[in-house]
């Protein structure tokens, strides 16, 4: 009787493992997705690829990322999908275009200075 119970529980465990494999997609590992992070120049061209990282699948514009000791803000994101059959598309990866937070703050302060428009031709508002 103990042996039959053990065999039944082993069979139930195998069925549970099979069912859990069907429900999970290949890219659904904790809701994370691989993403290529690219840094932008001031003229809008891509400066360099910072690398491929695993982020949450709903990472989007305006999110803050910390890579090593620097923080970045996501300016734009592009998603790449593949057709999984049965009228279903699966998110494969994302391409995130980022800018350093310190640079964003510097650009904002310079923009405020230039928008003043007081006596900037003579340079008196910079003294």
pTM here? 0.57
Residue 125: which pLDDT band, with cuts at 50, 70 and 90?
low
Domain count, the chain: 1
Query: Is residue 21 situated within a structural domain?
Result: no
In a domain, 126, yes or no: no
Inside any domain, residue 95: yes
Structure tokens at 22: 């069907």
Is there a domain that residue 17 lies in?
A: no
Contacts of 99 (CB under 8 A, 6+ apart): 39, 40, 72, 73, 75
Q: What are phi and psi of 52, to 5 degrees?
A: -105, 130
- Whether 120 is in a domain gets the answer no
Number of H helices, E strands in the chain: 2, 5
Comparing 33 with 122, which gets the higher pLDDT?
33
Residue 18 lies in a domain: no
With respect to residue 101, please indicate whether it lies within any of the assigned structural domains: yes
- Domain membership of residue 82 (yes or no) is yes
Q: Is the pLDDT of residue 126 over 60?
A: no
For position 42, what pLDDT does the model report?
66
Q: Whole domain around residue 42: which residue ranges? A: 29-115
State the average pLDDT for the chain: 71
pLDDT tens for each residue of 96-115? 888 888 888 888 888 888 88
């Amino acid at each position: 009787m103990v042996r039959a119970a053990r065999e039944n529980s082993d069979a139930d465990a195998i069925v549970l493992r099979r069912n859990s494999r069907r429900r999970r997609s290949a890219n659904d590992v904790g809701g994370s997705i691989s993403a290529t992070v690219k840094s932008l120049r001031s003229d809008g061209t891509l400066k360099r690829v910072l690398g491929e990282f695993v982020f949450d699948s709903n990472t989007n514009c305006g999110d803050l990322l910390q890579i090593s000791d620097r923080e970045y803000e996501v300016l734009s994101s592009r998603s790449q999908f593949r057709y999984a059959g049965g009228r279903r598309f699966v998110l494969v990866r994302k391409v995130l275009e980022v800018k350093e937070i310190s640079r964003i703050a510097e650009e904002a302060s310079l923009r405020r200075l230039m928008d003043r428009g007081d006596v900037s031709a003579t340079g008196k508002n910079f003294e």
